[in-house]
Chains A and B, each alone.
Chain A
Amino acid sequence: DTGVSQDPRHKITKRGQNVTFRCDPISEHNRLYWYRQTLGQGPEFLTYFQNEAQLEKSRLLSDRFSAERPKGSFSTLEIQRTEQGDSAMYLCASSLVNSPGDTQYFGPGTRLTVL
C-alpha cells in the first residue's frame, strides 16, 4: 500500500499564472476527492470522482478551477489566473466504494502560495 501521493508538495506562483496539481490515489480505490484547507481551518470539499466521472462539484469551485480524472486513476486539479485568495493547502483523498464507511485516505497535500 503506497498511499495517496501528490505532486508537487509546494508551489509558489505569481498572481495571474496557471497551476496544475496531480494526485495519485491508492491503486485499487475508485473514488477520488479534492479538498482545500486554509490556515487554521478544517478542509473544505471541492469535488469528487468515481472512476473517471466527476460526480459533484462544490459551489466553492469557481470557473477558474477544473479537475480531471481521464482514465479513472490519477487526477489533476488546474487553477487558471490564480489569485492571492487561492493560497491554501490542496488535499487529495481516495476511497473504495462499498468499503466500511467508505473511508477516505488523504495524501500529504500541495501547498500553494500565490504572490
Chain B
Amino acid sequence: GDSVTQMEGPVTLSEEAFLTINCTYTATGYPSLFWYVQYPGEGLQLLLKATKADDKGSNKGFEATYRKETTSFHLEKGSVQVSDSAVYFCAPKELAAGNKLTFGGGTRVLVKP
C-alpha cells in the first residue's frame, strides 16, 4: 500500500527563518498530494494541495511542488512566524487506494520569537 516518509521533528526555528519539511511517498499510481496542519488544540486543516505532476500548491506563504520523478512533495516557507508553530502532515491520496488519505507521522515545528 501507499506510505509516506516525513522528516522527524521537532524542528525549532527562529522567527523569519526558512522552513523546509521533506516528504516522500510511495504509490502505485499518480496520487493527489496534500499538506495538512494541526495547530495546538485544534483540528486538522488543509494547508495546500497539488493534483498532478509539476503543480505547485501554495497558501499562507507556504509552497510545495509535486515532483513525480522523485515522488516528493516538500513543504517550504521563506520566513516563518511564531503563529506557524504547529504539526504538519503530508498525505497522498490515491484513487486506487480507495480515496483515503495516507498520513505521515507529522513534523512538529516550533518557531521562537
Contacts and interface: CB of A to CB of B under 8 A. Distances in A.
Interface string A65-106: 000000000000000000000000001010100001111111
Nearest to B4: A42
Contacts of A100: 51
A105 B4 CA distance: 20
Contact of B106 (A42, A45, A56, A101): A42
Interface string B96-112: 00111111111000000
Interface residues on B, range: 20 to 34
A58 to B, nearest CB: 8
Interface of B: 4, 32, 34, 36, 42-46, 49, 51, 89, 91, 93, 98-106
9 contacts: A41-B105, A43-B103, A44-B103, A95-B99, A101-B32, A101-B51, A102-B32, A103-B49, A109-B43
Interface of A: 31, 33, 35, 40-45, 48, 55-56, 58, 91, 93, 95, 100-109
